[in-house]
Structure 1
Amino acid sequence: MNTYPIGTPGQPWGEAERAAWLALQRRQRSYKEEVLAAIERLASRCEVQQYGELNYGDERFPLMAIRNHWQEGLPVVLVTGGVHGYETSGVHGALQFVEQHAGHYAGRVNLLVAPCVSPWAYERIQRWNANAVDPNRSFRENSPAAESAALLQLVAPVREQVLLHIDLHETTDTDESEFRPALAARDGKPYEPCGIPDGFYLVDDSEQPQPEFQQAVIAAVEKVTHIAPADENNEIIGSPVVARGVIEYPLTKLGLCAGITNARYKTTTEVYPDSPRATPEQCNAAQVAAVCAAIDYALAHC
């Protein structure tokens, strides 16, 4: 039975339930101080652009992207983080990658990094946007999520030039305690627990799998943090494990961020920050290791 405190079991939410959910959301950290300030510090060595603005009530959130110095003819590498605002290492891992490694790839790839796609959700440590919409199921034409629509518009001019897209995420204990129950309640469905994997894993594109690429990323991340094992059903979060630490989704069909281009190489990282075997620093470092390994593999095999 759905025991989420908002809504009636078996009935999808209407406007009243969404408003009740929104009223519970509280600002817990600062996008300006923690993200925009970090981006500003990078402006002396990278190109920073505002690609949109979110407007929720009286709040305004500039949407920012970072580029290295682009050169005609180089492949594009797209790095996205914070599509789910509560997934902290996705945001700070992307920023740390730019700070520590963007210079290494100068003249080799054109980097386009959107480190915090969902700043309202970042501040609330929330999965959805203010309208109770999941941006990471909304990357499609006429998107219901302004966050997703803005990123699609940013990427559109270079969409066919993208060699690699790596989308940085986390799987947290609150997925099971809050976000999946909320999803079930919102959609009027029963909540079915599926467990939280202890460790890092990747999501490949089932429509265009690249198993060797995924394993190269796994091998690099394993030097930083542990890899999630399969459960007793040989699954991770209800999906069959196709290789060590890898599951597959039809990325574009599901409206997922990693499916917004025709890149040859696509992956979604999933860090587990709640593990007693991982620190916030390790989680950020795991995201950085994944990005570097992904770029290195793509360049070696393009």
Structure 2
Amino acid sequence: MSASPIHPAYPIGQPLQAWGVVERQQWLSQQCVQRSYQAEVVAPLLANLPAQAQLIEYGTLDYTQLGLSSYPLYAVKSCQWQPERPTVLVTGGVHGYETSGVHGALQFIAEAFAVYSEQVNLLVLPCISPWGYETINRWNPLALDPNRHFIAASPAPESAAAMACVAQYAPELLLHIDLHETTDTDNSEFGPAKAARDGVAFDWHAIPDGFYLVGDTERPEPDFQQALIQAVAQVTHIALPDEHGCIIGEPLQQHGVINYAKRELGLCAGMSAARYVSTTEVYPDSPHASPAQCNRAQLVTITAAIDYVLRHPASASAT
């Protein structure tokens, strides 16, 4: 049986006291650039853009008022958009530190976008949080989690820009795949930081070793989720539940699948009325998975999801 380890107090703020302006500024001062959005995301995107794709700069993430950089935000859209086809949204890098979400989306664009754009309408946002990507961070510079702020009048500019892009270019979705990871740093850094910021005790959960999916409690579609798990199992191992039958504290719904109330929580995968939605959770810290496997698992999830929709044509008319 796994026991929750004892964690020292987070080094910013006072225990059980929510952060104010001073603590948030202290946190921001400790963040630093560790990799390049331009070199690792934008350059490969431009180099591998298929002829069937249109590059859209859907906004600019401007943090210059905080002494930081500004970042162009990119989406990739099917050139031949046909209203009668199913429309598919792929989002990556909502949490910038979840590397395979970004690179899995880029790999899909480079390797599979051209083929699937002949059958479905595609919109891909490969890196929604470029500052988070560069600083290997879950939050944005305002100490906000973009994946809790896909809401009306969002205070997170990453979320607001992504929602505006989707509303403009793909307002009627059938399928949305949101690419994420669950990392060991969720327990060592990001979970404790969130608890300190909010003035609450840290709710520790064991990090599952393996891939899993997060469906939507309102739109669970278990056959769809099962098809994705079966496809990814050919690439990497699927996470098993803990001794309580849970993954990260949530009851297992079926092999490798838990559900969240995505709209209620303000999650990226809850921003639309798409019938089919799923959030990937890759485990990059596993001794049994390489970075290439993690990226491939993201790619396979996307292609398996599109294949499922194409095998069930009646779903294309669903709303």
**Normalization by structure 2: what TM-score?**
0.93
**Counterpart position of 2:69:** 59
User: How many correspondences in the alignment?
Assistant: 302
SS of the counterpart of 2:147?
helix
Letter in 2 for 1:71: W
SS in 2 for 1:285: helix
Give distance in 2, aligned partners of 1:256 and 1:211: 19
Q: Distance in 2 between matches of 1:119 and 1:110?
A: 25
Contact persistence 1:2–1:191 (CA under 8 A) = no
Comparing 42-51 and 242-251, the one that deviates more? 42-51
Q: Which letter does structure 1 place at the counterpart of 2:28?
A: L
Give the letter aligned to residue 42 of structure 1. Answer: N
- Give the C-alpha shift of residue 253 in structure 1: 0.9
AA aligned opposite 2:219 = Q
Percent identity over the alignment is: 56
Alignment of 1:1-302 (within 5 A): 3-43=9-49, 45=51, 46-57=53-64, 58-73=68-83, 74-301=85-312, 302=315
Q: Provide Cα deviations, 1:151-190, integer angstroms capped at 9, x if missing partner.
A: 0000113554211000000000000000000000000001
- 1:56: Cα distance to partner? 1.1
Change (3 A) 1:62 1:160: closer
Taking the aligned partners of 2:293 and 2:119, their CA distance within structure 1 comes to 27
- Counterpart amino acid of 1:39? L
Which blocks of at least 5 consecutive residues in structure 1 are unaligned?
none
Q: Note the C-alpha offset of 1:131.
A: 0.5
The structural deviation recorded for 1:43 is 3.5
Cα deviation 1:23-45 (Å, max 9, x = unaligned): 00010000000001011113452
Distance between the aligned counterparts of 2:235 and 2:100, measured in 1? 14
CA gap 1:83/1:233 in 2 versus in 1, 3 angstroms: same
Partner Cα separation in structure 2 for residue 86 and residue 203 of structure 1: 18
Structure-1 separation of matches of 2:49 and 2:292 = 23
One-letter amino acid of the structure 1 residue matched with residue 302 of structure 2: V
Once residues 144 and 18 of structure 2 are traced to their aligned partners in structure 1, the CA distance between those partners, rounded to angstroms, is 13
Distance 1:2 1:262, change over 3 A: farther
Per-residue Cα deviation, 1:116-160 (whole angstroms, up to 9, x for no partner): 000000000000000000000000001010000000000113554
Q: For the residues of structure 2 that align with 1:137 and 1:234, how far apart are their CA atoms?
A: 25
Aligned-partner Cα distance in 1 for 2:18–2:294 = 35
For residue 288 of structure 2, give the secondary structure of its aligned residue in structure 1: coil
CA–CA separation in structure 2 for the residues paired with 1:292 and 1:159: 19
Q: Distance in 2 between matches of 1:71 and 1:34?
A: 28
Read off the aligned partner of 1:197 and give its amino acid letter. P
Tell whether the 8 Å contact from 2:50 to 2:109 is kept in structure 1 after alignment: no
Structure 2 unaligned runs (5+)?
A: 1-6
Cα distance in 1 for residues equivalent to 2:127 and 2:163: 14
TM-score, length basis structure 1: 0.98
